[in-house]
Amino acid sequence: GNAEYPFQLVERLDPETRTVRLRTADNRLIDETFDRFRSAWDGSVLTIDRGEAPAGRLRPGYLVRQLLAFVDRTWGWWLAVSVVCLVASCLLPALTGMCGAARLLVTGVGCIGLVVAFAVVILLARRFLGRVDRDAEIVRLRNLREQLLGIPDLFWQLLGREAEEEVDSVTAAPVSNYAEAEHTVTVVLNPSCPDCARICDVIGKLKGVRIDLIFVVDDGDRRAYDVALRLISSGITSEWGETFRLLAAWYGRGRVPATPIHPLAGNDLSAQLNYCRRIRIVRTPTILVDNRRLPALYDAEDLKILL
């Protein structure tokens, strides 16, 4: 933070995109990469011990939502308890001959069990209806996506609205298939990123386009650095097919490429890291088409149809 408000609230950590979401004192949200967060953080932490919740935070509506969420997570246990209470209230008086206060107590337990059972049934119905709504929404979105992919001109219009990056991937010594094509697809990958494995499958199915691979690694991730150097070395010394095979083996089976590290690989990786800093890469994989970022409406899988 700053001098007046030295602390920021960590709202969310996303290990997949390697970003930290911070809330500032003026209620703004900021997304920072892990590396930038580590470099800016001075190590100070303000924590709140249990039982010392900040004033004004625990509102009744919040407590009710938390209670409903807890019952929703443990509905099986509550249903079993309610059934036991109902059975006990019906059988115990008849078997033991209870009367008076004891019988009234058992009847009260049975009523509580009935109320709990009713609440659990309501929550289950709510969950079922929510699932039905989600399934219907998934079908609607799938149909909408198919209609969207049926209008290729819309893709190029939206792509044209994306800002063109100040530097081209060609200047970053990429690993490329060097295809003579009208369009260039630039893919920024991190060897340690699990989501990049799906992108690897998409890359293998793209035809008729130039493909430029750019690698980015986190500070201190020596294994990812070594893998990136070896893949870049393969791009220098081997054909595209062999390099892609090594890339697929790494993301598919975690097999480190056996390619010797080329003397120029270090310079190429430095150029790629500098490229990622200049265009402000904050997550992987990142896809650019003709030096413009893929519009948010589209997924990497869509490129197989659109290109």
Closest CA to 191 of 151, 251, 235: 251
Q: Looking at domain 165-306, does it have CATH number 3.40.30.10?
A: yes
Q: How far apart are CA 247 and CA 214, in angstroms?
A: 12
Mean pLDDT of the chain: 80
Between residues 272 and 17, which one has the greater pLDDT? 272
Strands 184-189 and 210-215: parallel
Of 41-50, 66-75, 87-96, the range with the lowest mean pLDDT is: 41-50
- The maximal CA–CA distance of the chain, rounded, in angstroms, is 93
The percentage of residues in the chain with a pLDDT greater than 70, rounded to a whole number, is 78
User: 148-184: b or e for each residue (b if 16 or more CB lie within 10 Å)?
Assistant: bbeeeebbeebbeebeebeebbeebbbbbbeeeeebb
Is residue 85 scored above 90 in pLDDT? no
> How many angstroms separate the Cα of 72 from the Cα of each of 58, 64, 68, 122, 129?
20, 12, 6, 10, 14
| Contact call for residues 198 and 297 (beta carbons, < 8 A) | no
Which residue do the tokens 């290990």 mark? 15
Secondary structure string (H, E, C) spanning 171-187: HHCCEECCCCCCCEEEE
**Apex CA 155: angle with CA 154 and CA 160, to 5°?**
100
Is residue 5 scored above 60 in pLDDT? no
Band of pLDDT at residue 290, cut at 50, 70 and 90: very high
For residue 48, what pLDDT is reported? 46
Strands 286-289 and 29-33: unpaired
Overall size of the chain counted in residues: 307
Which residue do the tokens 């003579």 mark? 180
Q: DSSP letter string over 105-124?
A: HHHHHHHHHHHHHHHHHHHH
> How many angstroms separate the Cα of 277 from the Cα of each of 230, 241, 283?
21, 29, 12
Query: Of 21-30, 93-102, 116-125, 238-247, which has the strongest mean pLDDT?
Result: 238-247
Band of pLDDT at residue 61, cut at 50, 70 and 90: low
Please write the tens of the pLDDT for every residue from 165-196: 988 888 899 999 998 999 999 999 999 888 88
C-alpha torsion sign, points 165, 29, 195, 161: negative
Please write the tens of the pLDDT for every residue from 201-232: 888 888 889 999 999 998 888 999 999 999 99
Please write the tens of the pLDDT for every residue from 228-277: 999 999 999 999 999 999 999 998 888 888 889 999 999 999 999 999 99
